Amino acid sequence: MNTKLVAPSLLASDFANLQRDVEMVNQSEADWFHLDIMDGVFVPNISFGMPVIKAIAEHAKKTLDVHLMIVDPDRYIKTFADLGSNNLTVHYEACTHLHRTLQAIKGEGMKAGVALNPHTSVNLLEDTIQDIDLVCMMSVNPGFGGQSFIENTYQKVSELKNIIEKKNSKALIEIDGGVNATNAKKLVDAGADVLVAGSFVFKSENPTNTIKNLKEIIN
């Protein structure tokens, strides 16, 4: 079995102590930094942008997993590559020419991810799954941290896992939203490879231990 990964979402970190929280993740057993970029159009919220990502990238020592919740993401692919993103995930619902977008992301040397809103069927990825490195399955409606996990995610994960195997794709399945110690094991059992966790990590008493516990639960 492959090692299952944990990606703390900095959206839930303390922005007034961002360097401290980035260093905490560096020192922890976490695998990736998950960065949520929101434009106030694709989702109702606005998170943070380029100057903040640049500051994070200067301190972060692990993979930068960037989740774009923005319209027309093609405009910014090169910018995010230049900022040091390793994975760049766009929303299926925001891309008219998804295949082209994926090639453009890979052309800039990044791993290409596609995020699916809770209402979007995994079957829609059948024709692109071989070009995708990472599927970010939203288990809440995107836009905010701290929401409750949507239960039919397990079913969607198993369906997606079947498509990945059937098509011989190497895509990883990432779960984003409401992840905690209660649903983590069931998610990896259904086929998940990467768990994003925001509030569960950063709002806990000891985020380093919370990450360690999550890693133990899923591996």
By annotation, the residues acting in catalysis are 36, 176
Q: Which long-range contacts (CB under 8 A, 24 or more apart) does 77-80 make?
A: 77/101, 77/104, 77/105, 77/108, 78/108, 79/50, 80/53, 80/108, 80/110
Binding to Zn ion by CB under 5 A, coded x per residue (else -) over 176-205, reads x-----------------------------
95-134 positions binding ligand DX5, by CB under 6 A: none
**Does residue 36 belong to the site contacting Zn ion (CB under 5 A)?**
yes
Q: How far is CA 14 from CA 21, 69, 126, in A?
A: 7, 21, 39
- Is 113 annotated for ligand binding? no
Q: Reading across the β-sheet that carries 32-38, which strands appear in turn?
A: 5-8, 194-197, 172-176, 134-138, 111-116, 87-91, 63-69, 32-38
Which of Zn ion, ligand DX5, none lies near 177, with the C-beta cut-off 5 to 8 A by kind?
Answer: ligand DX5
Segment interacting with ligand DX5 (CB under 6 A) among 17-25, 77-85, 100-108, 144-152? 144-152
158-187 positions binding ligand DX5, by CB under 6 A: 176-179
Is 51 exposed, middle or buried (CB count within 10 Å of its CB: 0-12, 13-18, 19+)?
exposed
Nearer to Zn ion, 36 or 131 (CB): 36
Q: How many chain residues bind ligand DX5 (CB under 6 A)?
A: 22
- Is 67 annotated for ligand binding? yes
- Is 144 annotated for ligand binding? yes
Q: Which residues bind ligand DX5 (CB under 6 A)?
A: 9, 11-12, 34, 36, 67, 140, 142-147, 176-179, 196-200
